[in-house]
Amino acid sequence: MAGASALVLVAALPAMAQTSPAPAVAAANNPLLKEWSGRDGGVPPWDQVKPELFKPAYMAAIDLQRAEIAAIANDPAPPTFANVIEALQRAGRPLQRIDVLFGVMTSNMNAPAYQAVDKEMSPILSAADDEITFNKKLFDRIAAVYAARESSGLSAEQQRLTTRIHDSFVRQGAKLDAGQKAQLSAINQELASAFSDFGQKVLASEDKWTVIANEADLEGLPASLVASYKAAADERGLKGQWAVVNTRSSVDPFLTFADNRALREKVWKAFKDRGDEGGANDTNAIIAKIVKLRADRAKLLGYATHAHWRMDDTMAKDPAKATELMMRVWQPAVARVREEVADMQAVADKEGAKLKIEPWDYLYYAEKVRNAKYALDTNEMKPYFELNNMIAASYYMAEQLYGLTFNEITGSVPTFHPDVRVYEVKDKASGRHVGLFYRDDFARQYKRSGAWAAGYRGQRKFDGPVTAITSNNNNFVKGAPGEPVLISLDDTETLFHEFGHALHGLLNTGTYPGLAGTPRDFVEFPSQVHENWVLTRQVLDRFAKHYKTGEPMPQALVDKVRNASKFNQGYATVEYLASAIVDMKLHTLQDGVVDPDRFERETLVEIGAPAEIAMRHRLPQFNHLFTSDAYSAGYYSYLWSDVMASDAWAAFEDTGNPWDPATAKRFKDIILAQGNVVDRADAYRDFRGRDPDVDALLENRGFPTGK
């Protein structure tokens, strides 16, 4: 998925808490406070990062930024764009660098020592955010520049930056009275602590695995998958056994191929019950607290619900508009699930299985139906999707579409783990350095689940130039020593998706960091488009090569894959949309009073969710919603973005060439390079010549369009 903040503003960054400054000696010697050194404008000092360094570094950086903010707020000169808005764009850079380092470590290497720092610092940093937002002198100067923005000779980009900073301060409570600000700050600090608690409980709940002791229980699993489960067991000291770890990349293949139904159920329940097991790691009470605090905050800020507050700065703007889109897609998706279940039940009945399709049966019997309908066994495909080849394929895509090259430089810069690989990115035509790209592909203890992209540094022309550093993070399961890592088509599309986020960061050409991010329901659009290049002939012919023979994927198999491209779209759509709809309904509760477990069950019944499919992310483990505000009332954004992605992909297809240079250049220049310099709805219309058409999404999924 994308980074946590869609808008880079100083008010959104950790800042000035009311705390004692770190000792001067500690600050002077703390490597986390220093400018990044080394090649290409400096690189993260991963070789010097230690958990005990973060608190003193944070405290010292908070004081540094406090002084910068005070200088801006108390400047006796009349407020101008230069001494207010540009000054804010410079403020807090040491703090930003520390936050990047800490965010990466708590996502990828979140051992107990980091968890302790996170728990202690989260409310302090939340209070620090509020100290900036609630600084009346500062806001008065921002408001003065905002009021004069159209008459002071500012460029369109400068006017937009001024407007967005002003509006962000207002949205965060800058206009509240003193009593309301104190109340809001208390809520924000409580939320920050709850977010930290939620993430740590889910991480602990995920740090488990299902042990398989009998070889007979491996029936149905391909040899490469068995080898990966053995490697996972060996890593955990379970010699002579196999382990299915609690990550999607490990669980879904097991559910697809394992013949042992009882074991499928056990693995499925272990995965879906994360955070909902009772005991120390149960998250339901934290969810109830978060939802209530969010509702109280929204009311204090003058919004009907948390969803209305969160969506005020999105393309959809209003919960009703997002819900309308979700329900338009939901109904045909549910109808398709009924068809899929009927097909699977028929196969099970024919085999004499004497069962009713349950959620842990869905992928298993869907695979049988796929084989029967399309003569496509996904086991046939995995030998062609070797991880390193697919990584190379993603770089080929970037070169062909955008003229970027990726040259591995691992070993020449520090990394936080030996698995991390690093690449220099250049413009092929000119040889110009564009940025650096880090990738961390494998699951490990203390790494959060899923796949995501993170920016280490954004490019900027202002006060620069400075080039970008981006990253991708996955949770693939390592194979046995010397064995290749074979991934599924779904995993490959996820790899391309996250790489799309990285490209978005690398190709940004905006002047100001405050206009680098995009609305939450736009940010997934560029990444989703890039999934489509996986199944192009150029990628398949060059990179989808059998890991043993080296032969490219035969055309007959490519045809099967294409013919089956709309297969099981009911499952994929309902699994996702159930989570998105529950998220939206949860965050449109006006009073925020909720029993999460009951709410989840009753909402699924209310919308007619098929019993054979569980939410992709159940509430007790829904990190998107409850480790920050980032995706709360915003999980719909994947669908909103996919409408644009499907329609934009049609623009490439309409040329007859998915690699069409002219279309790729327009997509790069208008969609990827601008950040949020131009309103994203206007940018899309500029690219496509009209608003996006939802029918393109329905057609891609094989649903009726109503045409």
Report whether CATH 3.40.50.1100 matches the domain 10-175. Answer: no
pLDDT at residue number 14: 29
Whether the Cβ atoms of residue 14 and residue 63 lie closer than 8 Å to each other: no
Q: At 242, which helix (H) or strand (E)?
A: strand 242-245
pLDDT at residue number 23: 42
Of 691, 665, 664, 694, nearest to 680 (Cα)?
691
Cα-Cα end-to-end distance for the chain: 33
User: What angle is formed at CA 458 by the lines to CA 169 and CA 580, rounded to 5 degrees?
Assistant: 65
Question: How far apart, in whole angstroms, are the C-alpha atoms of residue 264 and residue 249?
Answer: 15
pTM, whole model, 2 decimals? 0.90
Beta strand 242-245 with 404-408: parallel, antiparallel or unpaired?
A: unpaired
Cα 645 from chain centroid?
Answer: 16
pLDDT at residue number 378: 84
Please give the average pLDDT of every successive group of 10 residues along the chain, which has 707 residues: 30 32 59 96 97 97 97 98 98 97 97 96 96 98 98 96 98 98 97 97 93 96 93 94 93 96 97 94 98 98 98 96 97 97 97 97 97 89 95 98 98 98 98 98 92 95 93 92 91 97 97 94 96 95 94 91 91 98 98 98 98 98 96 97 96 97 98 96 97 94 85
Give CA separation, 674 vs 459, 665, 666, 682, in Å: 12, 13, 11, 12
Whether the Cβ atoms of residue 124 and residue 12 lie closer than 8 Å to each other: no
Left, alpha or beta for 411 (phi > 0: left; psi -120 to 50: alpha)? Answer: left
Using the structure block, give the residue that is written with the tokens 């009951």: 598
What phi and psi, each to the nearest 5 degrees, are found at residue 210?
A: -95, 120
User: Active-site positions?
Assistant: 498
* All structural domains of the chain with their residue ranges: 10-175, 208-274, 384-515+532-563
Whether the Cβ atoms of residue 95 and residue 63 lie closer than 8 Å to each other: no
Question: How far apart, in whole angstroms, are the C-alpha atoms of residue 123 and residue 50?
Answer: 21
pLDDT at residue number 624: 95
pLDDT at residue number 249: 87
Q: Do domains 10-175 and 384-515+532-563 have the same CATH topology?
A: yes
Question: How far apart, in whole angstroms, are the C-alpha atoms of residue 534 and residue 565?
Answer: 12
Question: How far apart, in whole angstroms, are the C-alpha atoms of residue 631 and residue 578?
Answer: 15
Architecture of domain 384-515+532-563: Orthogonal Bundle (1.10)
pLDDT at residue number 562: 87
pLDDT at residue number 5: 28
pLDDT at residue number 608: 98
Of 431, 483, 429, nearest to 229 (Cα)?
483
Q: At 232, which helix (H) or strand (E)?
A: helix 223-235
Position 564, amino acid:
A
pLDDT at residue number 707: 64
User: What angle is formed at CA 552 by the lines to CA 481 and CA 366, rounded to 5 degrees?
Assistant: 80
Question: How far apart, in whole angstroms, are the C-alpha atoms of residue 94 and residue 626?
Answer: 27
